[in-house]
Structure 1
């Protein structure tokens, strides 16, 4: 069995799961659902820096990455926000993630960095739109060719 044929579907599923988990984390922080903010159990007050803004990034980027729309820019923003969370929020409490509680931030940061580099995979809205644009370009080129003939 050639496992290379599973690369695209595996990448797509990885992207969807990471996006969903990030979205859920953001929903908990912004709206207080799903158990609320891990620290307080409630929603972060609107506009509070950095928690509410981080939650908003998590909701937006998590949803975009999950469905595979504007995946690379969303993954870049998500990765950067998690790097910020690690170095500004967690790292002052200790260098290693196991000591400072930053495992989740580190895992999300590197997961989104991987998605940014590898792309959305075949099961994504980005792929659907790219395919449609390709068909539209081919149709327009064929129409111009038939007009010249």
Structure 2
């Protein structure tokens, strides 16, 4: 097996799992900050759970936890990709900064959106509950 073949067959699925886990953890922190106030952010102290931000927090907390585990990776990642696209257009993009995420502070939303979009098609990688379930079948 050549070096490139080793990278593709052995290491790519593992690094894909690392990308999923780290991204999901960072995403989960957004939800826990909104809903559990951990880490504390005074902006969310009086959050209404049935608001758009409260609903986003629920998606971030539950979706982040599922992605950390690699459970239902593809559908959860697709849903969260859509959430982040929605977040970008609702909270960041305006007519004059639509194509400039640096100017509208939308970079995290764009990155989360496209990483989740990738995971929706690529799956959870080697270290995921989805992979364990697939092996049993």
Given the two structures, how large is their TM-score scaled by the length of structure 1?
0.81
- Residue of structure 1 equivalent to 2:111: 107
For 1:43 and 1:12, the matched residues in 2 are separated by 35
1:90 is aligned to 92
Q: 1:143 matched to which residue of 2?
A: none
The question of whether the paired residues in 2 share the 8 Å contact of 1:20 and 1:66 is answered with: yes
Say yes or no: does 1:46 pair with 2:44.
no
Map 1:26-45; keep pairs closer than 5 Å.
26-36=31-41, 40=43, 42=45, 44-45=47-48
Cα contact 1:9–1:122 (8 A) shared by 2? yes
Where structure 1 has 5 or more consecutive residues not aligned to the other structure, the ranges are 134-149
Counterpart CA distance in 2 for 1:114 and 1:3 is 19
Of structures 1 and 2, the one with the larger relative CO (CA 8 A, separation 6+) is 2
Q: Which residue of 2 aligns with 1:126?
A: 130
Structure 1 residue 42 displacement after superposition: 2.9
Write the distance in 2 (CA, Å) between the matches of 1:117 and 1:58.
Answer: 19
Paired residues in the alignment total: 130
Kept after mapping to 2: 8 A contact 1:32/1:44: no
Higher Rg of the two aligned structures: 1
Q: Which runs of 5+ in 2 are unaligned?
A: none
Could you tell me the TM-score, scaled by structure 2's length? Answer: 0.88
The CA deviation at 1:60 is 1.1
1:64 aligned to which of 63, 66, 73: 66
Aligned twin of 2:21: 16
